[in-house]
Structure 1
């Protein structure tokens, strides 16, 4: 069930036997701090604003996402951090590696699936509002979340039941499904299953979000009346919001899936720092998620726009008297050489 690489850096650092120092654990510590406290802040914000959002389906998915991301980081990163602090004197045991692989796989896959469900929620709300606003929409969201967690748990625990295996990856601080030794048929099959599901989640998220973006862009460009400017701002905000979702998910999650598919197809081989960086990048998605879905709320964005507009108008009003006085001064100097004017346009 467990595969241990005799040299964790067989491909990218051949012959290197240097043990990572405690200083190398700084990225892990930062992931833990920002991941746990960021998602905790997201949950607190959700609860404090429950009167305004009334736990609509979208916000139930946000809550599920924060619990998944924050909980996954909370119960996995400390084990990886301990390996750095102990200078890797205690290798991960087989049961611990199976557990760690499950937690990492479950956290990453569940996050991608929940983001996909959130995109589907926005798509249905936009194109099928009558169907979306049914009395059972809250219960429907809860059932969807439960099914998503169960299906993700089954998918991510297949190595425990004999399909594929878990592997300790460089530098020995984390485990994941063994997508390196794909000469073993079970590892190859499991790698393809996990990576294809992950890629499909990304593709579906992109398609659904761009469908919503196209809808709001169409409405925005068709609008000709200035009295609907606030509605136009709301639609532009939705477009920016969804573009951010697509960009972050694709940038953080997709590279790991591509790397797994490359290993499964024998395009690349071995493992080293690249896989470590890709997993950290995928976990970064769990850190960024709460800032996108909670702190990037419409209320915050609208407040920022209003503040910017007020500052701009005040600056413009402050510059206006000086501009008018300068024009007046030039006019008076042109008509009479004996008349002098100060910057306020008053005669000396």
Structure 2
């Protein structure tokens, strides 16, 4: 009887263990839909994000303020409208994601419990990043049309064309941003539990398609910027060579002909922004393509760093515009002319600019004398 009772108690005990184990397994599997399967990682210091995002917010606000202050000077031409949209897009991304990130630092489980916050943060990051890239591409297209087809640019390009192009950029960015909500990839909490993004290491084919699509857009944008800016620089150099020819030297002094200083300024601005985009997007493009095509070796650290670098352009873009203001840019050109050989492009730019001012002043004096003689 004792043995029988002991065996019965042991059977009941084992059944209890099995039931408890089954319940634990069920709870874990049910919770895996809303949590990140990647291993936990220690969050990065909060003060670094505060400094970084403060730097970006101040830069974007300053850039917008400068654009509004100089509106009578640039008259809201297409290029400056796109610069404003770029600054507003970057500013929106920071203002949406920053409070959510601070909340996640205070409560590491908030993004797992409040699924809506995770979706908003991830979608905003995707949409604004794509909008920034595509706005820079539009800026490059604007410079190409202005340099290669100036008559069409002045007479045919209207605000309606700009509205259509900007609308297409916004619609395309939102269409890509909502794909994870439609079942193509998914939003998930990342390893630090302080930010959300899509699944960077997907297993399903339709989830990998999102990474391929994002990488394709990034590659197309980078190549387009390189080609378009190269075309503008080639056209600008071609004009300078033509203007330096003896038969065209007199014509090039007419004040109506642009000296090219503003074009050079816009090109340098585009090149600097393009450099930041390439340095911030190439790592994530490589990781996206690798994980989508192969994905046999998982490297959480590389993937996390690559995605984090894509936010870099949203912070640095406005500061490039601030640095590229007329007074500072003119000083940089003057410094380059002093430290370069005679006949270099810096000498030509500034000499053309000075000639334009002298000729404009001469014509103004002549006009005043004619008016006085008539009186």
- TM-score interval, normalised by the smaller of the two chains: 0.7 to 0.9
- Which structure shows the bigger proportion of residues in helix conformation? 2
**C-alpha separation in 2, matches of 1:70 and 1:154:** 21
Q: Secondary structure at the match of 1:167?
A: strand
Segment of structure 1 superposing worse, 76-85 or 103-112? 76-85
Change (3 A) 1:19 1:243: closer
Q: Which has the higher contact order (CA 8 A, sep 6+)?
A: 1
**C-alpha separation in 2, matches of 1:195 and 1:224:** 44
Q: Which residue of 2 aligns with 1:19?
A: 42
Segment of structure 1 superposing worse, 30-39 or 88-97? 88-97
Q: Which residue of 2 aligns with 1:217?
A: 237
Q: Which residue of 2 aligns with 1:137?
A: 158
**1:252–1:284 CA contact under 8 A, matched in 2:** yes
Q: Which residue of 2 aligns with 1:265?
A: 293
When normalised by structure 1's length, the TM-score is 0.77
Q: Which residue of 2 aligns with 1:186?
A: 206
Aligned residues: 300
Q: Secondary structure at the match of 1:4?
A: coil
**C-alpha separation in 1, matches of 2:240 and 2:157:** 31
**C-alpha separation in 2, matches of 1:196 and 1:18:** 30
Report which of the two structures shows the higher radius of gyration computed on alpha carbons: 2
Superposed, which structure 2 residues align to 1:97-112 within 5 Å?
Answer: 97-112=118-133
**C-alpha separation in 2, matches of 1:78 and 1:124:** 40
**2:100–2:117 CA contact under 8 A, matched in 1:** no
Q: Which residue of 1 aligns with 2:319?
A: 291
The RMSD of aligned alpha carbons is: 2.9
Q: Which residue of 1 aligns with 2:36?
A: 5
1:138-178 Cα shifts (integer Å, max 9, x gaps): 23212321221121111111111222211222212112221
**2:212–2:292 CA contact under 8 A, matched in 1:** yes
**C-alpha separation in 2, matches of 1:256 and 1:111:** 16
**C-alpha separation in 1, matches of 2:242 and 2:157:** 34
Gap runs ≥5 in structure 1: 9-16, 311-348
Gap runs ≥5 in structure 2: 1-31, 339-375
Q: Which residue of 2 aligns with 1:326?
A: none
**1:213–1:239 CA contact under 8 A, matched in 2:** yes
Change (3 A) 1:20 1:237: closer
**C-alpha separation in 2, matches of 1:218 and 1:135:** 24
Change (3 A) 1:308 1:200: closer
Change (3 A) 1:40 1:166: same
Q: Which residue of 1 aligns with 2:306?
A: 278
Segment of structure 1 superposing worse, 41-50 or 73-82? 73-82
Give 2:329's match in structure 1, choosing from 301, 307, 326: 301
**C-alpha separation in 2, matches of 1:208 and 1:70:** 26
**2:118–2:196 CA contact under 8 A, matched in 1:** yes
1:68-122 Cα shifts (integer Å, max 9, x gaps): 0011111012212322233x24343332222211011111111001001110111
**C-alpha separation in 1, matches of 2:81 and 2:153:** 14
